[in-house]
A and B are shown apart, each in its own frame.
Chain A
Amino acid sequence: MTDTRSQDIDLQEEAGAKFHRGSALSIFKSDRREDFMALMLALLIALGVYLFL
């Protein structure tokens, strides 16, 4: 049986609206910040690959 509390993971509140987002959740405050962090992580991986291989 589905645990009803398990369905809360994608609940999102944005501008007063509450809905199940269903995907694309993030720990960052904005998409812009997440994009920036992804860029930093990618550059870090690229640096590692460049230096160690």
Chain B
Amino acid sequence: MVYTHKHPALLIMGLVMLAIGASVSLGWQDGIVEYLGLKKVVWEMTSLTYVFGVIAVVVGLWHLFGKHEEGNLDYYLSTVAGVIFILLIAMLVRWYVAPFVAVLSKGLGPVMGAKYLHQVLGLNYVVLGIVAGILVVNVFKVPRWAENGVRLSRLGLKTGVILLGTLYSAAELRQLGALSVVMIGFFVLGSVGMVLWFGARRNIPNSMAGVLSAGMGVCGVSATVAAAPVVQAKSVEIAYTIGTILLWGVGCMFLFPVIGHLLDMGHVQFGAWAGTGILNSAQVAGAALAYQPDGIETLKVAEIFNITRVLVLPIIVVWLAVWFVKREEDAPGVNVGRVIFEKFPMFVIGFLLMFALSSTGIFAPAEHYKGKYFDNDIAAEKLLSEDQVASLQGEAGKVQRQDRQAALTRLIENRKVMSLEDDDVLRGLANAKVLSKDATGLLKKAHKAVRHTAKKVAAFRTWITWLFAFGLVGLGMQITLASIKQAGGQPLVIGGIVGTTKAVLSLIVVLLFVQETI
């Protein structure tokens, strides 16, 4: 079968991208950039459009005029049209639709404290991108030429998760990992056990209970499909489970961020809650990015929880296999070792590999935090001047705490901050506003001189943001009404009870025990 469609769409989309890039470069969109507050993303608007525009035009010409034969080249290059289709939608939503919604919302004034309506409802580029995808597939239709590309969206999400490994410090990973093992261990095993218990009480078939428990407990659709052969689930049972998970997961993806904003949850708290309470991996990422669209701190926390949950999948599959064999006399035996090997998610190894690479310091000094690192080997013009030092010396008597006095003395003697510890202490002094405004300004200047942004880490953040944006718009294009309509009957009732219990209990645990100190 030949997958490439002789269609001008790819070529046209490439030309549209190039036109956007050129009009921004030439300043024709300056008014729009100003009105929508797009100055920060002008670099994205030119570089991404040029790169992907050229790719689209070249491959588009081949699609339209090339000779296509069955084979790998045809199969894989046929995906480019769908990829560009998703990217174009993501670009339009991120650069034009979401900022316009924000401008309208700000025009209404704050609605809850200092928050605007679009912030409370989470109407940002992530949510709007997913909604755009859902609209495309359900109201219109994903064009035939784009279908293969839409199937690449999960590859984008997995690549994004692997690259996230470059952004964690060892301390962060240790703390988040320990927390996630405890929470995921309790809630995953609890959910699986609860579904199996409810299933027995409500007399649903073992195969149905088995496949539903994997979907509700571990990571949604992937877990359902992985567990289905082990418990010999029928297609209608798989369909019931997926329908339940999607109905629940899509609802949570839109609802969790709103609740998070209403409760004013921190990034760590929300990430932990989303990673525990939402069933499907992609929807965890969607909710985390919807909660914090202008940064990826929440996504980092949520994905650690998600990865921990995915790692539990082989254990759950073995548990279900043993459980099923005990209940069904004619069930075939299970090779436990083989199941663990086959179901082990290899992309998690990729995440750990990236973390290991990053820890060697090849992308940024290993002690970097959120892409910033300390280095006081600075040029002479960045040192404090003699006058500035004299100004600080004149106010040193106002400082009472010994650690602050010592750090300030070292700053005065050396005209620069001497260590990371001193930097932290002096920032505390600046925030405490003990000194005059001018002297506080000098402390901030000294801090800026020794704190550097790791360009490579910043580049990884941009890549990750776009990989997830691509993956989530593509995810929206796979959420069909037909898949959600599959939900119903006892599985929906059991799934609803277990899902609600897990979401509410995990919220209580997070609010009580998870602090914003990581």
Residues of A with Cβ closer than 8 Å to B? 2-3, 5-7, 9-10, 14-28, 31-32, 34-39, 41-42, 45-46, 49-50, 53
B479 within 8 Å of A (CB atoms): yes
Chain B residues with Cβ under 8 A from A34's Cβ? 154-155, 158
Complex Cα–Cα for A3 and B136 (A): 11
A11 to chain B: closest CB distance in Å? 8
Answer whether A21 and B483 are a contact pair too, CB < 8 Å, given A9-B147, A9-B477, A46-B163.
yes
Proximity string of chain B (210-240) to chain A, C-beta cutoff 8 Å, 1 when within and 0 when not: 0000000000111001101100011110110
CB-defined contacts of B353 to chain A, threshold 8 Å: 39
Q: Which of B79, B225, B463 contacts A45 (CB 8 A)?
A: B463
**CB–CB A37/B228 < 8 A:** no
Q: Considering the complex, which residues of chain B in the window 312-368 have a beta carbon less than 8 Å from any beta carbon of chain A?
A: 342, 345-347, 349-350, 353-354, 357, 362-363
A10 with B158: CB separation less than 8 A: no
Stretch at the interface among B16-24, B57-65, B137-145, B424-432: B137-145
Given contacts A22-B478, A26-B151, A46-B166, contact A17 B347 (CB under 8 A): no
B81 to chain A, nearest CB (A): 13
Alpha-carbon distance A31/B166, docked complex (angstroms): 23
> In the complex, what distance in Å separates the CA atom of A28 from the CA atom of B363?
31
Q: Please tell me if the beta carbons of A23 and B141 are within 8 angstroms of each other in the complex.
A: no
Residues of B within 8 A of A19 (CB): 235-236, 238-239, 242, 486
Q: Is B93 an interface residue (CB 8 A)?
A: no
If the complex has contacts A21-B242, A24-B478, are A2 and B138 also in contact, measured as CB distance less than 8 A?
Answer: yes
Is the contact region of chain B dominated by helix, strand, or loop, or is it mixed?
A: helix
B162 to chain A, nearest CB (A): 4
What are 28 A-B pairs with beta-carbon distances under 8 A? A7-B138, A7-B481, A9-B150, A10-B482, A14-B225, A17-B233, A19-B486, A20-B483, A20-B486, A21-B242, A22-B483, A23-B154, A23-B220, A24-B154, A26-B151, A26-B155, A34-B154, A34-B155, A36-B346, A38-B155, A38-B162, A39-B346, A39-B350, A41-B159, A42-B159, A42-B163, A45-B159, A53-B456
Nearest-neighbor residue (CB-CB) of A16 within chain B: B235
The chain B residue with its CB closest to the CB of A23 is: B478
Residue of A nearest to B153 (CB): A25
- Contacting A at CB under 8 A, from B143-195, are 147-148, 150-155, 158-159, 161-163, 166
Query: Which residues of A are found within 8 Å of B481, using beta-carbon distances?
Result: 2, 7
How many interface residues does chain B have, given as a range? Answer: 35 or more
Q: Which B residues are in CB contact (< 8 Å) with A49?
A: 363, 456, 459-460, 463
B152 closest partner in A (C-beta): A27
Q: Which of A6, A31, A32, A38 contacts B480 (CB 8 A)?
A: A6
Report if B280 contacts A (CB, 8 A). Answer: yes
The docked-state distance in angstroms from the alpha carbon of A10 to that of B416 is 60
CA gap between A53 and B461 in the complex, in Å: 13
Given A23-B282, A24-B154, A49-B456; A17-B479 close (CB under 8 Å): no
Bound-state Cα–Cα, A26 to B147, Å: 11
- Are B478 and A21 in contact, with the CB atoms below 8 A? yes
Let me know if A46 and B478 touch, CB within 8 A: no
| Nearest-neighbor residue (CB-CB) of B225 within chain A | A14
Q: Which residues of A are found within 8 Å of B477, using beta-carbon distances?
A: 9
Residues of B within 8 A of A25 (CB): 150-151, 153-154, 478
Contact yes or no, B482 A20, CB < 8 A:
yes
Q: Is the CB of B483 within 8 A of A35?
A: no
User: Which single member of B138, B229, B362 contacts A6 (CB below 8 Å)?
Assistant: B138
Chain A residues with Cβ under 8 A from B236's Cβ?
19
What's the minimum C-beta distance from A23 to chain B, rounded to whole angstroms? 5
Q: Is the CB of B158 within 8 A of A38?
A: yes
- Cβ of A16 to closest chain B Cβ, rounded Å: 8
Nearest CB in chain A: distance from B188 CB, A: 18
Assuming the contacts A9-B477, A19-B242, asked whether A46 and B354 have C-beta atoms less than 8 A apart, the reply is yes
CB proximity of B110 to chain A, nearest CB, Å = 35
Point out the residues of chain A lying under 8 angstroms from B79, CB to CB.
Answer: 27
Partner of A10, one of B140, B229, B347, B483: B483
> Given known contacts A6-B137, A9-B142, A39-B349, what 11 new A-B pairs fall within 8 Å (CB)?
A2-B139, A17-B234, A19-B239, A19-B486, A20-B243, A21-B478, A23-B475, A25-B478, A39-B346, A39-B350, A45-B163
Tell me the residues in window 237-259 of chain B with beta carbons closer than 8 Å to chain A beta carbons. 238-239, 242-243, 245-246
